Amino acid sequence: MTAMLEMRGVSKSFAGVQALRDVSFTVEAGQIHALVGENGAGKSTLMKVLSGVYPAGSYDGSIVFDGEERRFRDINDSEALGIIIIHQELALIALMSIAENIFLSHPPSRFGVIDRHAVHRRTAELLAQVGLRESPDTLITDLGVGKQQLVEIAKALSKRVRLLILDEPTASLNEADSAALLERLLAFREQGIASILISHKLNEVARVADRITVLRDGRTVDSIDCRTERIEEDRIIRSMVDRDLAHRFPERSAEIGEPVMSVENWSVYHPLHPERQVIKNVDFKLRRGEVVGIAGLMGAGRTEFAMSLFGRAWGTNISGKVRLDGDEADLSSVPAAIAAGLAYVTEDRKQLGLILAADVRKNVTVASLRKVSERGVIDDVVELKAASDYRTRMRIRCSDVYQATGDLSGGNQQKVVLSKWLMTDPKVLLLDEPTRGIDVGAKYEIYSIINELAEAGRGVVVISSEMPELLGICDRICVMNDGAFVGEFDKDDATQEKIMRAIMRNVRMSGSRADDGVARAGGEAR
């Protein structure tokens, strides 16, 4: 077979961070090519280069499609050649019908008037092709996620697709919908349509892929031809995670003491789909001075777990018990949770963590105004001193505490958020992706701060998608999948391969698993 697409020596960097290094990637006509790798390995960046989201000139290397070098200026250029990308977050308009969505950008029309009969007829044909039995007039909002995914594929077919790129298409699908989707890909292969499948689910990949490419730290580290070689899961996992960890984390010396928080039988339901149990009766323990990591894939329920603990800031129909220092804690609202000694540092600093237009001082004190006020009146001298103290202690680099937080770098913004929560003097800090979007130097500083917190006898929970980070800073790592803890490893015992295997094993099981939810498959689980 001949190569349909050839990406040669692609490199791309963002503000000094190398996201892709000399990646070469080939897709043959009628091939299903799986792309696997950790979060942040560069899979999405590579696909954005291919689809023209990052225009020619913003990266090094070349893209050859149908034997000609192509320089895409935007996504329209790549779509014109039949390269269609379907993102993880579906780009459908909820209150429009299936037909309107499929022909949104190029409806069949005469003199600018949409030919409604043609739209209807062609939509019906496309839906039959993807095996979706719905009327073209059905609104998107009335469809489940699996069917929406099929509408996206029908939309791609309407554009005469030749290379279909699917970014984690089955992440939010159940077993049956996933299987149906994979069947479609196999059917497309027969018609000569090639696919690139980005997925964490190795069993799916093994089932349909003709070739598997593994990316790590922006490099191609392995490529397996499934028609000639046997697929070894261990080999894939090892190539996904192997990397040097030395000297990226500060020394630790915290003493682990008494239990500070214990969560029993914690259960949370989805706020919009109240029948969906997101956190499935989990138990969790944390000691003073201990740093516990929670590993897992996106959507595993880690953020939902932390936010539901923090004054029920997420979810509905929440049940379970939380003890802080042995006493049952009232976590019925955010103010109550703060008073009880909980702090939550959000993964979405800009949307949920900071008031960007307000200055450093106001952001630092907003959660503990009581401490700088008397009978409801703020003492601005006391407030200013408190804010300045944190600025010095946390090494926040700003012109003064009157600088707007929106003007600071990501690392310094994160230090402002940490200051805000330190000022509430919490017993337990829940840190959700504390180093996301922060450069390497600032990461080291954040790790040092986490160590200091533990040394001061606080309990720290770190949710992170970067496994080396968890291994570098945690005393214990729990693995969460599908709303339950499925594995637990001690610092000395944990390796990236073990964690990745715990995640992968259970990803494969999810869906087919009975929904009693308490299943704990990890060998090392309590």
Partner 1 sequence: MTDKTVSLPESPRHSGFIKNNLRNYGMLLSLLAIMLFFEIVTDGTLLQPLNLTNLVLQNSYIVIMALGMLLVIVTGHIDLSVGSVAGFVGAVAAVLMVRYHVGYPIAFIACLLLGGAIGAAQGYWVAYFKIPSFIVTLAGMLVFKGLALAVLQGQSLGPFPSTFQKLSSGFIPELFPSAGTLYPTSLLIGVVLAFVLVLASAKSRAREQAHGIEVEPYAFFVVKSIALAGAVLYFTYLIASHRGLPNVLVIMTALIALYGFVTLRTVVGRQIYAVGGNAKAAKLSGVKTEQLTFLTFVNMGVLAALAGLVFAARLNTATPKAGLGFELDVIAACFIGGASAYGGVGRVGGAVVGAMIMGVMNNGMSILGIGIDYQQVIKGLVLLGAVCIDVYNQRR
Q: What does the binding site for partner 1 look like in residue numbers (CB under 8 A)?
A: 310-311, 313, 334-335, 337-338, 344, 346, 351-358, 362, 366-367, 369-370, 373, 376-378, 380-381, 384-385, 388, 391-392, 395, 400, 420
Q: Could you tell me the CA-to-CA distances from 430 to 237, 286, 398, 437 in Å, in that order?
A: 29, 11, 25, 18
Shortest distance, position 91 Cβ to partner 1, whole Å: 24
Closer by beta carbon to partner 1, 367 or else 418: 367
Shortest distance, position 357 Cβ to partner 1, whole Å: 5
Shortest distance, position 362 Cβ to partner 1, whole Å: 7
Burial 12-21 (b: 16+ CB within 10 A, else e): beeeeeebbb
Helix, coil or strand: residue 498: helix
Shortest distance, position 398 Cβ to partner 1, whole Å: 11
Closer by beta carbon to partner 1, 373 or else 409: 373
Length of the chain: 526
Closer by beta carbon to partner 1, 226 or else 367: 367
Closer by beta carbon to partner 1, 241 or else 342: 342
**What is the Cα 491 distance to its own chain's centre?**
24
Q: Could you tell me the CA-to-CA distances from 361 to 160, 381, 446 in Å, in that order?
A: 56, 11, 20
Shortest distance, position 380 Cβ to partner 1, whole Å: 7
Cβ count near 401 (within 10 Å) = 23
Closer by beta carbon to partner 1, 101 or else 363: 363
Shortest distance, position 317 Cβ to partner 1, whole Å: 20
Cβ count near 186 (within 10 Å) = 12
The Cα–Cα gap between 74 and 52 comes to 5
Shortest distance, position 32 Cβ to partner 1, whole Å: 41
Edge-to-edge strand ranges of the sheet holding 316-324: 277-287, 259-269, 316-324, 327-328
CB neighbour list of residue 430: distance below 8 Å, 6 or more residues apart:
306, 309, 310, 342, 343, 344, 345, 461, 463
Closer by beta carbon to partner 1, 161 or else 360: 360
The Cα–Cα gap between 192 and 215 comes to 26
Closer by beta carbon to partner 1, 320 or else 353: 353
Residue with tokens 């059905």: 138
Closer by beta carbon to partner 1, 171 or else 352: 352
Shortest distance, position 265 Cβ to partner 1, whole Å: 25
Shortest distance, position 431 Cβ to partner 1, whole Å: 14
Amino acid residing at 212: I
Helix, coil or strand: residue 86: strand
User: Is the CB of residue 93 less than 8 Å from the CB of residue 110?
Assistant: no
The Cα–Cα gap between 486 and 297 comes to 12
The Cα–Cα gap between 289 and 287 comes to 6
11: tokens are 């490199």
Shortest distance, position 251 Cβ to partner 1, whole Å: 21
The Cα–Cα gap between 285 and 265 comes to 12
Closer by beta carbon to partner 1, 280 or else 362: 362
Closer by beta carbon to partner 1, 146 or else 311: 311
DSSP bridge pairs for 194? 163
**What is the Cα 202 distance to its own chain's centre?**
18
